Amino acid sequence: MSKTGSISVNTENIFPIIKKFLYSDHEIFLRELVSNATDACNKLKTLSSIGEFKGDTGEFKITVSIDKENKTLTISDNGLGMTEEEIEKYINQLAFSGAEEFVQKYKDKADANVIGHFGLGFYSAFMVASKVQINTLSFKEGAQPALWECDGSTQFSITAGSRTERGTDIILHIAEDSLDFLENYKISQLLTKYCKFLPVAIEFDGKIINEEKPLWLSKPADLKDEDYVKFYQTLYPFAEAPLFWIHLNVDFPFNLTGILYFPKVDSAIEAEKHKVQLYSNQVFVTDNVKDILPEFLMLLHGVIDSPDIPLNVSRSSLQSDGNVKKITSHITKKVADKLAELFKQNRTDYEAKWQNIDLFVKYGMLSDEKFAEKGKDFCLLETTDGQYFTINDFIEAIKPLQTDKDGNTIMLYTNHAEIQHSYVSAANSRDYKVLKFEGPLDNHFTGYLEQKNEKVQCKRVDADALDRLIAVETTTVALLNEDESKKLVSIFEKANHNTDIKFSAEALTPQESLLTITESEYDRRMREMSKMNGFNMFGNMPLSYQTVLNTNHPKAKLLIENEENEAVSIAQKALNLAMLSKGLLKGEKLTAYIQAEMEKL
* Binding-site ranges for Mg ion (CB under 5 A): 36, 121
Minimal distance, residue 190 CB to Mg ion, in Å: 16
Options 25, 77, 462, 467; binder of ligand ADP; rule CB under 6 A: 77
Report the 10 Å Cβ neighbour count for 15.
21
Binding mask 492-521 for ligand ADP (x = CB under 6 A): ------------------------------
Q: Is 457 in the site for ligand ADP (CB under 6 A)?
A: no
Lateral strand order in the sheet of 501-506 = 501-506, 545-550, 515-518
Q: Which stretch binds ligand ADP (CB under 6 A): 29-37, 471-479, 483-491, 525-533?
A: 29-37
Amino acid identity for residue 403 in this structure: T
Selection from ligand ADP, Mg ion, none that 114 binds (CB < 5 to 8 A by kind) is: none
Minimal distance, residue 37 CB to ligand ADP, in Å: 5
User: Is the Cα torsion angle 151, 157, 158, 164 positive or negative in sign?
Assistant: negative
CA distances (Å), 303 to each of 30, 74, 253, 277, 350, in order?
Answer: 21, 29, 20, 5, 24
Minimal distance, residue 96 CB to ligand ADP, in Å: 8
Q: Are strands 409-414 and 201-204 parallel, antiparallel or unpaired?
A: unpaired
Selection from Mg ion, ligand ADP, none that 87 binds (CB < 5 to 8 A by kind) is: none
Selection from ligand ADP, Mg ion, none that 28 binds (CB < 5 to 8 A by kind) is: none
Q: Is 66 in the site for ligand ADP (CB under 6 A)?
A: no
3-state percent helix, strand, coil for the chain, nearest multiple of 5: 45, 20, 35
Minimal distance, residue 181 CB to Mg ion, in Å: 18
Give the H or E element holding residue 522.
helix 521-532
Q: What is the DSSP string of 248-305?
A: EEE-SSS-EEEEEEE-S-SSHHHHHHS-PEEEETTEEEES--BTTB-GGGGGSEEEEE
Q: Are strands 72-77 and 61-67 parallel, antiparallel or unpaired?
A: antiparallel
- Residues binding ligand ADP: what is the number (CB under 6 A)? 18
Smallest CA-to-CA distance from 513 within 485, 482, 561, 548 is with: 548
- What CA–CA distance (Å, rounded) separates 436 from 419? 12
- Position with the least CB separation from ligand ADP: 121
Selection from ligand ADP, Mg ion, none that 198 binds (CB < 5 to 8 A by kind) is: none
- What CA–CA distance (Å, rounded) separates 289 from 114? 13
CB-CB contact of 72 with 160 (8 Å): no
Smallest CA-to-CA distance from 27 within 242, 253, 266, 285 is with: 285
Comparing CB distances to Mg ion, the nearer of 36 and 133 is: 36
Q: Is 82 in the site for ligand ADP (CB under 6 A)?
A: yes
Minimal distance, residue 185 CB to ligand ADP, in Å: 25
Q: Is 138 in the site for ligand ADP (CB under 6 A)?
A: no
Q: Which stretch binds ligand ADP (CB under 6 A): 119-127, 276-284, 393-401, 412-420?
A: 119-127
Q: Is 88 in the site for ligand ADP (CB under 6 A)?
A: no
Comparing CB distances to ligand ADP, the nearer of 136 and 383 is: 136
Q: Which stretch binds ligand ADP (CB under 6 A): 76-84, 152-160, 505-513, 517-525?
A: 76-84
Q: Is 90 in the site for ligand ADP (CB under 6 A)?
A: yes
DSSP state of 201: E
Amino acid identity for residue 502 in this structure: K
Which positions lie near ligand ADP, rule CB under 6 A? 32, 36-37, 39-40, 77, 79-80, 82, 90-91, 94-95, 98, 119, 121-122, 168
